[in-house]
Structures are given as structure tokens and as C-alpha cells.
Amino acid sequence: MDVLPPVAPGGLPLIGHAARLTRDRLGFLEELRASGPAVRIRLGRQQVLVLNDHRPIRELLTRRAGDFGLSPHFRVMKRIIGNGLLATDGPFHRRQRRIMMPVLAQSRMPHHARTMTALTERRLARWRPGQELDLDREFTHLATETVVRCLFGADVTERELDSVVDALPDLMAWAGTHGMDPTGLLSRLPTPLNRRFRRGMSDLTRLVGSLVSRRLACPAPGAATGTGTAAASQWPYEGDLLTALLEARDPESGAPLAYQQVHDEIMTFLIAAVESVSRTLAWTVHRLSADPEVREALHREVDDRLAGRCATAEDLPHLPLTRRILTEVLRLYPPGYLISRTARRDTRLDIRLDGRLDGERNGDRIAVPAGTMVMFSYYALQRDPRLFPEPEEFRPDRWAGTPEGPACEAYLPFGLGAHGCLGESFAWTEMAIVLASIAARWELRALTPGPPVPVPAFSLTLTDTRVTVRARSRSVERTPDTPDAPPTAAPASAPSPALTTAQKAV
């Protein structure tokens, strides 16, 4: 039976709920849960369907994915990444995803993980006891250097790297500001942010073009003949992502990626990898700073395994608390906190308007006419007290053992289905290596007491990211464990317990 979701209270004449969504976006999204698993809001003259239940959200992202396309709010990303995976849908998106999957294959992770460890080692060696750090700057620089080295290999100068570090924050600020302006009018105003955005886009486009041209002028040894040589081991691009992109072929036609598509996928990976990793690490440090019990447990874990050295991919299966901490941080502060889709055609979504989590579907459905915008918030979903008791509390041990059930199905920090993040394993590996390596040597204390306040922009940013660095003595003095086996892809990127169960339910 088709059911009609209620209208959220508090709408104003002409503008509807737009003021609430702009003024207190996160609070408003959480308040909408009280209206039931689905609720209608009005943004100006447009009615929007908001989903507060993980079951219709999962259905939309999987079984009904073909019925929905990107919304105008999300298409603002096309100004930055063109036709990259984040900003496309339909047959073109499916084709590109098939091509890109081998580029980010598990078999490449050991190579990338070694780069992550080396760069983390170099970054941490610069820190000094008593030093004040801006975590936003530190982690943005580290995440940027990591993705740039993994993309382009060793042939990137410090000046080129700094140009990426300088440009990305302006691009993210622009996307966060303009994402709720489907008219595009804000981008035409002569504001300082628009000027910085245009300058940053120009710098990045020029840099990516230069690096791709440099690569094309330096083919892999033996590429022309198909025979490798000893010189291949000295080739500076061995194993990087740009090489994989240039070698990628359409599985049906065998055609390579066009130059513009290579550029767009590079921009996509730069944006996605830097923003999600740097923000999550900053949130993690601040939550640990306010929770001495969890912080000390983390120190004991890394002391036992690492004894002061930086973590490697082989260490990650032996650091379960590290993983649980990151899992919990991503529950509280998911990178994509607000997602929207637009119905391509008339469709329906199964739902239980009584909100019960037990039992099977009861036959109720929501009719979603073509053109309807549908919104859902991973931030609000992953703080639902019915699914996560004491949802505001930082409790990594809620992920101990093998969690299962509705909470795991509602845990979707990297999305799901055809638009799920292909770089998820890359992000998990990098975050775990960096967090464990910091905990093995340093203790970071936030200058502002208490949990920081999330600010919704492109992702969830922090109000104050300053910390002081403290050297720490290890709780266990021992020789660090040495991995017994050569690197394998599985340990570096094994999914969290929550994701394992959730993925099985798709």
C-alpha cells in the first residue's frame, strides 16, 4: 500500500525549511528523525523527501539505484572533477566504474601502504615536544602528499606538492558553500572565495596536465616491446596510480581512457582521498584527547606491536583497537554527511512508517514521482539512538567482536552500491597506519577542551584543530615485531566488522 510521509513542522512561507537547513543543518537533520522514517520538507517551492531509516536508504543505493540520478546539489562537483566517478551516473558511470576497479585493486595496496608508511615516518620526524600543531594543515599536507606520491610516483617536486596543498582547501570550501545552491548564482559573484577557487582550479589543471605529459614522455621500460628489463626497477613510476590509469582499458571495447577522463579521475581521487582521510584523522585525535581511557588503551596496543616504530600494512591485523577507534570516529563524523539523489522515473521504496526495526516488510511503500529530490544523512542515521545506544558517546568497543544486525546495516560512512567509494580500502589503510604510528611515538592534546563542534561544509570540519605535541614513554620496552610474511593486500584493507555484515546484507 502506498503511504504518504508527513510534512516536517516549522516550515515558513515561501522558503519552507530552507532557513533551518542553512542555519543549523546538523541539528535539523537529527530533529527530522522524530517525524518518522520518512518525512517531507520544503526548500523554497521544491518538496524534498528525507529518509531517516537505513532500509529504504539501502534500497535506494542498491536495488533501486537505476531509478535515481545525481541531484543538482551534487552536480556542483562537476566544476571540480568533470566526469569523474563522484559526479556521474547512469551507463557512463557504470562503464567508468568497471574500468576503474582494477586501478584500485587490492593487489596494489602493498605498494601504496609502503608509501604511506614512509611519508608518515618523515612527517612525524619533524615534530618536537611542546610544539603547537594545526592538525588541519598537518593532516591535509600528509594526506595530499600521500595521494600525490601514490598517483604520480617519485617525480613530483616540493613546489608542485605545495601548489596542491594550497589549492585543495579553497576547492573544498567552494564546494561546501555552493553545494546547496543549485541555481549556480553564487558562483558568478566576484567574491574572494570564487577568485581563489578559479585560481586553484587553474593551478591544479595545469599541474595535472604537466604530470600526465611528463609520464607519457617517459614510457615504462619494455612497454613498446612488451619485454621488461632490469631498468624497470629504476623507473620512478613503478606501481603508481597514473600508470594504472593510462594502462586501463574498457573491458568491452579494449579502448584506453581519453586524456580528459584521466584528468577527471585524478581530480576525483585527489579530492576524495585528501578530504576523507585528513578530516577523519583530525576528528580522531581530538576525540582521543578528550578520552584518556581509550587513549591509554591505544598506546598499550601500539606499544605491544610497534615499540616506537611506524606501522606497516602487515601490522594492521594486529591492531584491532586502532581499527575500532577509526570505525567509531567515522560513525560520529562520516565524510559524506548529507547525500541527495533525484528520481529519474516514477518509482517506489519499501518502508515501515511505524519505524519498527524488527520483523519483515509490511507492504507499505512510498511513491517517489520522477523529479523528486531525496535526501538522507549518514550523520543523522549513524546517531539514531534506536540503533546506537548513547549515540553521542565515543565508544570504540561497540564494534568489538563481530557486530551484526540493524546497526551494522546502518553504518555506511563510505556509501554503498554503485556509488560506494572505490578508494575505501586505500583510506582505511592510510588512516590506520597514520594513527598507529602517531600513537607509538607521540601524545597529541587539543588546546580547546572537550569534544569539538562539527561544522558542516563539504565535509564535517572542526572549529579548532590546534594541538600540542607531547613525547611519550612506551608502556612496553621490547623489540618491535617484525612481520613474518611478505606484504599481502588483505590485511591492509580488510573491512571493519560493521562493514562486513552490512555488505553481506546487500
Q: In this predicted model, what pLDDT tens digit does every residue of 222-278 receive, in sequence order?
A: 554 444 444 445 555 667 888 889 888 988 888 888 999 999 999 999 988 898 999
Position 235 scores a pLDDT of 53
- What string of H, E and C letters represents the secondary structure of 344-378? CCCEEEECCCCCCCCCCCCCCEEEECCCCEEEECH
**SS3 call for 94:** helix
**Per the structure block, which three cell numbers stand in for 263?**
584528468
**Per the structure block, which three cell numbers stand in for 91?**
551507463
CB-based contact 480:309 (threshold 8 Å) = yes
- Judged against a pLDDT cut of 70, whether residue 25 lies above it is answered with yes
CB-based contact 352:59 (threshold 8 Å) = no
User: Residues 414-437: what's their mean pLDDT?
Assistant: 94
CB-based contact 350:55 (threshold 8 Å) = yes
Nearest to 8 by CA among 380, 271, 266, 299: 380
Beta-bridge mates of residue 40: 7, 49
Position 237 scores a pLDDT of 62
Q: Tell me how far apart the alpha carbons of residues 143 and 430 are, in angstroms, rounded to a whole number.
A: 8
Position 236 scores a pLDDT of 56
**Per the structure block, which three cell numbers stand in for 406?**
540493524
Position 184 scores a pLDDT of 64
With cut-offs at 50, 70 and 90, classify the pLDDT of residue 220. Answer: low
Who contacts 24 (Cβ-Cβ below 8 Å, separation ≥6)? none
Mean pLDDT (the chain) is 85
**Per the structure block, which three cell numbers stand in for 435?**
594513527
**1-24 pLDDT tens trace:** 788 899 999 999 989 999 898 889
Q: Give the dihedral sign, CA 63/64/68/74.
A: negative
**DSSP state, residue 409:** H
CB-based contact 399:327 (threshold 8 Å) = yes
**SS3 call for 347:** strand
Nearest to 262 by CA among 287, 276, 242, 292: 242
Phi, psi (degrees; rounded to nearest 5) at 48: -125, 135
Nearest to 421 by CA among 495, 489, 490, 487: 495
Q: Is 203 exposed, middle or buried (0-12, 13-18, 19+ CB in 10 A)?
A: middle
Strand order from edge to edge, sheet including 339-343: 38-43, 46-51, 373-376, 339-343, 68-70
With cut-offs at 50, 70 and 90, classify the pLDDT of residue 494. Answer: very low
**154-202 pLDDT tens trace:** 778 888 888 998 898 888 888 877 766 655 667 778 889 899 999 999 9
With cut-offs at 50, 70 and 90, classify the pLDDT of residue 362. Answer: low
- H helices of 153-258, where? 158-178, 192-216, 241-247
> Which of these ranges, 124-138, 300-314, 325-339, 461-475, has the smallest mean pLDDT?
461-475
Q: Which residue has the higher pLDDT, 324 or 193?
A: 324
Position 352 scores a pLDDT of 80
Who contacts 306 (Cβ-Cβ below 8 Å, separation ≥6)? 315, 436, 437, 440, 480, 481
CA 313 to chain centre: 20
**SS3 call for 435:** helix
Beta strand pairing status for 347-350 and 365-368? antiparallel
What string of DSSP letters covers 237-261? TTT-HHHHHHH-B-TTT-PBPPHHH
- Judged against a pLDDT cut of 50, whether residue 467 lies above it is answered with yes
Position 287 scores a pLDDT of 94
**DSSP state, residue 7:** B
With cut-offs at 50, 70 and 90, classify the pLDDT of residue 361. Answer: low
Position 474 scores a pLDDT of 64
Q: Tell me how far apart the alpha carbons of residues 196 and 479 are, in angstroms, rounded to a whole number.
A: 49
Q: Tell me how far apart the alpha carbons of residues 334 and 491 are, in angstroms, rounded to a whole number.
A: 23
Q: Tell me how far apart the alpha carbons of residues 179 and 156 are, in angstroms, rounded to a whole number.
A: 32
**73-100 pLDDT tens trace:** 677 788 889 999 888 888 899 999 988 9
Beta-bridge mates of residue 36: none
**With pLDDT > 90 as the criterion, what percentage of the chain qualifies?**
52
- Judged against a pLDDT cut of 50, whether residue 505 lies above it is answered with no
- H helices of 442-482, where? none
Q: Tell me how far apart the alpha carbons of residues 269 and 151 are, in angstroms, rounded to a whole number.
A: 9
